[in-house]
Structure 1
Amino acid sequence: MTIETGILFFTAILIFAVTPGPGVFAVLARSLAFGVHRSLAMIIGIVISDIVYLLMACKGLSYIAENWSQVFTIIRLAGAAYLIYLGWNIWNTPVTFYLDEKPTNQANDHIKSFLQGFLISASNPKVILFYLAFLPTFIDLSNLTGSDLLLMGFLTFAGLFLSLIIISTGAAAARQYFQSKSAIGRLNKTAGATMMGAGAFLASRQ
């Protein structure tokens, strides 16, 4: 991978990371409710999931998709069901959960947040399509070297993490405007509807 190709790839990752989707909205919602610190695990989960797709794309995800379509259908439907379930929970989350409650176990909270981020990104068709269709425009996967793979992984991690941290920081700074019960209630409904809509979209994909 040349320097020019690396810069273009990193720029594409930055743009891709801030494109509206379930992962971005989940980070926004969590950061608005809890701040940047308690959003880090979710951000890392999203980033790790994307890197897994990057590696799979480099190792022939398209071949697997073509020859194991039934497996991917199960994964897609399971991901859709999870997004709908998560959206329903957010929709029905009591306002007092965001305003009053504190987690009793920080470790469990971070693990749960990480898994949510990982599964949201893993179930997002935007991620799959990006790495399957867009990745070959930057590098010849048939001549991929180990150093190319490491560099792409690093650039992906840096680009996604930087973009999501900026989003999280901006949302956390705006928390003061979302402290009333009515504002938090609207946030719950919007986040829940977005998650459920993403799940319905994923389930409808062929």
Structure 2
Amino acid sequence: MTLESALSFFIAVFIFGITPGPGVFAILARALVNGSAACFMLALGMTISDILYLVAACYGLAVIATNWSELFTVIRIVGACYLLYLGWKMWHAPLDLTQTGQEVNSSSGFMGFSQGFLISASNPKVILFYIAFLPTFMDLTALDNIDIALAALLTLISLMSGLMLIALFASRARRWFKSERAVKRLNRGAGSIMAGAGLFLITRH
């Protein structure tokens, strides 16, 4: 991969990462409730899942994605149901906006990572995106492990930058919510966003 193609790849993945979808909706909801710092493991889980899809695409696993469509459908439905559950929980649970979002223990960090991984993994069209996307920037017939590692690193930096930028902007919006009524609206708004992400996934074909 040349420097020019690497830069183009980085920018394209960044744009792909901030495009509205289940992952972005989940980041918005988490940042509104707990702040940007609480989104790091969630974003990392999404990014690692995307990287796995990227590597799978690089190694030509499109055939598996096609032949195992039933499995991907199950993953998508499970992920969508989980998002709906999180949305319901956010809608009914009280919010404590005095939390800074900085105190994230290992358990919540692991849960955030798992949630992010599931959200991204439940969208098998990501691998199809990369399959169509990669030939634009690299010669797949001459692809070696170094190229794949570089593409994975660029994807990690680009996606994390985009998702955390969204989280930062969303977390600052929390400052607008001070009254009890506003907190209730924030709670239901965040829950609606999360549930919307679940509906988005479950209705995709």
TM-score by length of 2: 0.85
Deviation of 1:30 after TM superposition, in Å, equals: 2.1
1:135 and 1:88 mapped to 2: Cα distance?
38
Q: Aligned to 2:93, what secondary structure does the other structure show?
A: coil
Instruction: Give the match for residue 111 of structure 1.
Output: 110
Task: Please report the RMSD computed on the Cα atoms of aligned residues, expressed in angstroms.
Answer: 2.6
Deviation of 1:118 after TM superposition, in Å, equals: 1.5
Instruction: Give the match for residue 150 of structure 2.
Output: 151
Deviation of 1:166 after TM superposition, in Å, equals: 1.8
TM-score by length of 1: 0.85
Moved more, 78-87 or 193-202: 193-202
Task: Write the letter of the residue equivalent to 2:86.
Answer: L
Residues 92 and 3 of structure 1, relative CA distance in 2, 3 Å threshold: same
**Structure 2 unmatched ranges of 5 or more:** none
Moved more, 2-11 or 42-51: 42-51
1:165 and 1:100 mapped to 2: Cα distance?
18
Length, aligned pairs only: 205
Residues 174 and 51 of structure 1, relative CA distance in 2, 3 Å threshold: same
C-alpha contact 1:43 1:117 (8 A) present in aligned 2: yes
Deviations 1:21-64 (A, max 9, x none): 22222222222322232222112112111111111221223210
C-alpha contact 2:38 2:101 (8 A) present in aligned 1: no
Matches within 5 A, 1:30-179: 30-95=30-95, 97-99=96-98, 106-124=105-123, 127-179=126-178
Deviations 1:167-186 (A, max 9, x none): 22222333211233333322
Moved more, 48-57 or 19-28: 19-28
Aligned-pair identity in percent equals: 50
